[in-house]
Chain A
């Protein structure tokens, strides 16, 4: 290897862009911007790149696609400069026995990262996913056994995602549910697909030799999953004013009013989507006029659908409230109900079939995130 500079310019990345990335990564890792030199240093130090294996299980390849939409560093930098991605079905030049021998070599050497995309498919004795003459779950076990770190990217890897939605015809589940022994060295990064900026931050932390970032009890980094979307939503002011979109494509929509009444799951979804945004920051779901469908929540399809369902009967103005305070009243008045909902769900061990946005609003005030764990 001829040093980072060479790799950077091969990837078409300037040193300045690289340093900008280091600053962003340091901030994301909680080191503050003053940590940037340490990040840069660590990324340049190693004589060898960290080997990594990217496994596609029961996936749509959307998380790989999403990684390709990463900003700084871009995909070329990630796969050529940060890591040696020795096995990756979507981008790898090698196929068949050529690919398998690359996988074998990497596993033999050990010390690799395992990045897993897609649900673990257990249906039909694992044969709902067959790769190279074996089942996907067998391959997963082999790849994760000696991995230094396992990153479950996207909701499907985190808990089965949409694939395990009722009635879960193919026996889908998440990596951690399937291999609980991985817990100490596993990080979950849900949303559908994964946001690439989180992947890059977690990778950087690992390459820096840092301990895992603080995680919630679903193994999600608190930096990205510690607050609800509603907490950071630019439309929150309209929520407070009781200014709601009532119909798609309406005047209210063009004014950027709150999508709460359209079924927005922002109040119960703990991700930093409004801040990190998507596709190199150009937009995100609510900005496009759609309510959040909560794709980063546990069991997101069955918990969130019907996605466009209306809220509770409690509506701004109905009780004679002034619109500007109505929104906050809706939020506050419901707090107790949410706590009860949480307890009930803990008892059942899974989320309820449909999540009512009217109740979910209370997470702002009492957030029993620990009760959302999947059974």
Chain B
């Protein structure tokens, strides 16, 4: 029995510590601890709803768009504001660009280094690399030049961000040629994520942290010229996802098929849904609202969300719905039997829920959303072929499924985004010039229930006399990185870690894979 602490967890947003108990090469128990408390909810008390839009998005520099939108939607729900159709489309495009930015950055920059051995790429045969790229249907690059330069970099002895990586680890399974392809695409992805962010900057002023989705609509007024700038960038990003990221995923997956056998987690899934259509009905969103136990759907009720704090460093009401929630910091000591995290433990009807692309894709799949069904079935077919047996959809509830779901979702969103840009062009051509409505009331309660790239996100807003009387946020990482609840039930990431094989407890690479699969 070995106790291993991984702290800091790197390649994430924020500060996370994971402790695992390893016995006979398998994780037997796990604890996830969030290391940072800043007090956003307290900072927002007493401020104007529009100020909350500008401030609350700063919870997360990777998903500020989602927080900005959830905040604004919470205020709009509280104040009874119905936004103009143009504002809906503009927000969809900005949100979509953030999802694509985030998913590309996550796969290539954050998690790829768990599967891709950068140093091994040095021994790739160049001709074989081209052949492999062609067979995999993925894009090529000047592989010879990249390998030569990589050799120079490694020989120099200063590996910069690659210092002390898990190179040569026994759990690294890719052939050298595939590693080289991935290194080439790692570099290309750095350009693509920036291109996606430029869409946000055009329509939102800048990224990260944007300016335009204030309660009531948007301050960005579309023009054909600016939409052409957006369209051009969307095409580049969309091409990369279709022709590089998806084929890369399907080329890498067969080498890690055993990852379909662990990392299941709690098996309950929640999606508030994201990307409204003209009906503004959350169940009709492109990624619809819904929840699952296993693959059985049910309607998630926001009033059934409560947060537990027995194992979190807070001294405030326990088991409260966020509409009435409290946040009062009280650090005691780091104690795995007592309090061990700055993250609260949210539960839906008392149950831990996994959120994120896997949850969204499964909800949409079970709901029969056509593009999702087609993509998932296609991927399952390809993986079945590699495995030599038919794999059912339940195989997605695993480490492998969680990784694949995010990349497949990128494709769904990239395709949908083309439609929104078209809608916006039509609106401009048709002369619809309505982008903003004023609030007519100054009191009320509401919630912005939406999605960040990493999962279900809620901002509960209570406005009184035009000022915020209470504000509570439940982020995706609160759901996924939750500690145990008052009943001692593990959170989704803790549960997913249990059962993970660990080849070398001094270099617990496989545990990092599980953590990164949630994109915390």
Contact = CB atoms under 8 A, between A and B. Distances in A.
A74 to B, nearest CB: 7
Contacts of A320: none
B39 A163 contact: yes
A181 interface: no
A84 B8 CA distance: 19
Interface stretch (A2-10, A27-35, A204-212, A229-237): A2-10
A249 B434 contact: yes
Contacts of B210: 288
Interface string A75-100: 11001100111111111111111110
Contacts of A131: 7-8, 15, 35
Interface stretch (B195-203, B374-382, B492-500): B195-203
Contacts of B512: 95
Interface string B407-447: 00000000000000000000000000111101000000000
Contacts of B212: 288-290
Contact of B206 (A79, A251, A279): A279
Nearest to B36: A129
A49 B158 contact: yes
Interface in B202-239: 202-212, 214, 216-221, 223, 229
Interface in A170-189: 170, 172
Interface stretch (B41-49, B288-296, B389-397): B41-49
Contacts, number: 322
B148 interface: yes
Nearest to A54: B161
Contact of A89 (B10, B37, B105, B207): B10
Q: Which of B15, B55, B194 neighbours the largest number of chain A CB atoms within 10 Å of its CB?
A: B15
Given A95-B9, A306-B47, A79 B205 contact: no
Interface residues of A, number: 98
B158 A285 contact: no
A50 to B, nearest CB: 10
Contacts of B219: 248-249, 253, 288-290
Contact of A12 (B157, B187, B331): B187
B149 interface: yes
A128 B10 contact: no
A130 B33 CA distance: 10
Given A102-B164, A131-B35, A248-B219, A66 B10 contact: no
A251 B223 CA distance: 12
A282 B225 CA distance: 13
A62 B216 CA distance: 26
A60 interface: yes
A125 B313 CA distance: 13
B59 interface: yes
B298 interface: no
Nearest to B166: A93
Contact of A289 (B50, B150, B155, B220): B220
A326 B100 CA distance: 46
B165 interface: yes
A61 B329 contact: no
B152 interface: yes
A237 to B, nearest CB: 19
Contacts of B10: 88-95, 99
A278 B200 CA distance: 11
Interface residues of B, number: 104
Contacts of B367: none
Contacts of A10: 146, 149-150, 152-153, 187
A251 B156 CA distance: 58
A169 interface: yes
Interface in B314-367: 329-331, 334, 342
B197 A79 contact: no
A83 B187 contact: no
B36 A128 contact: yes
A130 B59 contact: no
A119 to B, nearest CB: 8
Contacts of A56: 15
A290 B214 contact: yes
A240 interface: no
Contacts of A49: 156, 158, 160
Nearest to B512: A95
A167 B41 CA distance: 11
B209 to A, nearest CB: 6
Given A86-B163, A102-B164, A129-B36, A193 B209 contact: yes
Contacts of A248: 214, 216-219, 435-436
B38 A1 contact: no
Contact of A128 (B38, B58, B218): B38
B145 interface: yes
B191 interface: yes
Interface string A279-308: 110111111111001010000010001111
A334 interface: no
A98 B164 contact: yes
Contacts of B148: 6
Contacts of B202: 282-283, 288
B201 A169 contact: no
A1 B313 CA distance: 48
Q: Which of A11, A51, A97 neighbours the largest number of chain B CB atoms within 10 Å of its CB?
A: A97
A99 B214 contact: no
B85 to A, nearest CB: 12
A162 interface: yes
A129 B15 contact: yes
A85 B160 contact: yes
A193 B206 CA distance: 10
A93 B36 contact: no
Given A62-B64, A170-B37, A248-B435, A11 B187 contact: yes
B205 A128 contact: no
Interface string B5-43: 111111111110100000000000000010111110011
Contacts of B150: 10
A123 B331 CA distance: 9
B36 A58 contact: yes
Nearest to A77: B190
A14 interface: no
Nearest to A94: B164
A169 B39 contact: yes
27 contacts: A2-B155, A6-B148, A6-B153, A7-B153, A10-B150, A62-B60, A80-B160, A83-B160, A86-B163, A87-B163, A89-B8, A89-B12, A90-B11, A94-B163, A95-B8, A98-B165, A124-B329, A124-B330, A129-B15, A130-B17, A130-B36, A253-B219, A285-B205, A288-B210, A288-B219, A289-B212, A307-B50
Interface of B: 5-15, 17, 33, 35-39, 42-43, 47-48, 50-51, 54-55, 58-62, 64, 84, 86-87, 105, 109, 113, 118, 145-146, 148-153, 155-166, 187-188, 190-191, 193-194, 197-198, 200-212, 214, 216-221, 223, 229, 313, 329-331, 334, 342, 433-436, 438, 506-508, 512
